[in-house]
Amino acid sequence: MSKKTNTEWKPIRKAVFPVAGLGTRFLPATKVMPKEMLPLVDRPLIQHAFEEAKAAGIEEFIFVTGRQKEMLEEHFDYQPELERTLEARGKYDMIERVRTSEIGESQLFLTRQARPLGLGHAIWCARKLVGDEPFAIMLPDDVILSEKPCLQQMIEQYNETGGNMVAVMDIPREDTPKYGILDVESDNGKMASIKGLVEKPQPEDAPSTLSIIGRYILQPEIFDHLSKFETGAGGEIQITDAMAKLIGSQPFNGLRYDGHRYDCGSRVGFIEANIAFSLQDPEIGHSVQDIIQKHAKEIQSKAA
């Protein structure tokens, strides 16, 4: 299958964050503010994705932004006035928190996707910044609660297999029109070797119920296919279609990661994520648990 041996696959140093989307499901909250700035407990969605990538050893963070997204780069900048104010007030713990949102100098790179032509097009927009090396893609709408960061789990596997990899999860068959779906060659329960990929198939056409979630490791050859600008599902340039074209010439695997994924692109998923993440928070977890129990009792007594 692959012409390269494992030792020839380059390490993953860069991650692309497509953040040009409009976030219409959260209007009017996202009328002016980027959807990636919606807070999940105490940090914006984009910071969750950034921290996961950083913990996995990523050194260069590439944002594909668009109009009205300036707040995203500001968020990751050094804010001296704020730090001085916090220092004057003796709030050193807050300074530490603020610093979790700082991307080091010459580690953040920005490019723009001027037209909303699809996820594949957004990734293509990053081609010059990625260059000739493999890279990760992080979709900030997908937030994963796990002990070991999802991307780190993937990179550890990648170091064994090389090639391309997507994070995957089993979904109910009726949900296949929402996801990229795997056509599986072999599956050991943890890793699935992929022989085909279909973007958002109808349930009756779906080759499996194993879906892609928003973490990818791709080889730079993906850009050869993306640059053809072929449109697919929804009339958009789909990353899934370009990935399907790599199959056969390079290894392509799906990893069932350990963890739970929340779809923060939907209002219900976002609320569920806020509940799950806040329950884990050492400061507010207990209070949130009390609130949930109180509401559950109210719901039960109303139903009785």
Q: Judged by CB, which is closer to ligand G1P: 94, or 171?
A: 171
**Which is nearest to 59 in space by CA: 106, 119, 116?**
106
Q: If binding is defined by CB under 6 A, does position 36 make contact with ligand G1P?
A: no
Nearer to ligand G1P, 208 or 238 (CB): 238
Distance of CA 264 to the CA centre of its chain: 10
d(CA 35, CA 32): 9
Q: Is 264 in the site for ligand G1P (CB under 6 A)?
A: no
Residues 141, 38 contacting (CB under 8 angstroms) = no
By Cβ distance, which residue is nearest to ligand G1P? 180
Residue pair 155/12 in contact by the 8 Å Cβ criterion: yes
**Of these, 36, 52, 60, 142, which contacts ligand G1P (CB under 6 A)?**
142
* Burial of 293: CB neighbours in 10 Å, binned 0-12, 13-18, 19+: exposed
Tell me the sheet residues that pair with 143.
262
User: Which of 176, 208, 219, 240 is in the footprint of ligand G1P by CB under 6 A?
Assistant: 240
Interface with ligand G1P (CB under 6 A), residue total 13
47 binding ligand G1P? (CB under 6 A): no
Which two three-digit tokens encode residue 253? 């695997």
Q: Work out the burial of residue 188: count CB atoms within 10 Å of its CB; fewer than 13 is exposed, 13-18 middle, 19 or more buried.
A: exposed
Among residues 44 and 214, whose Cβ is nearest to ligand G1P? 214
- Find the shortest distance in angstroms from Cβ 265 to ligand G1P: 6
x/- binding map, residues 156-185, to ligand G1P, per CB under 6 A?
-----------------------xx-----
> Residues interacting with ligand G1P, by CB under 6 A?
119, 139, 142, 179-180, 199, 211-214, 238, 240, 265
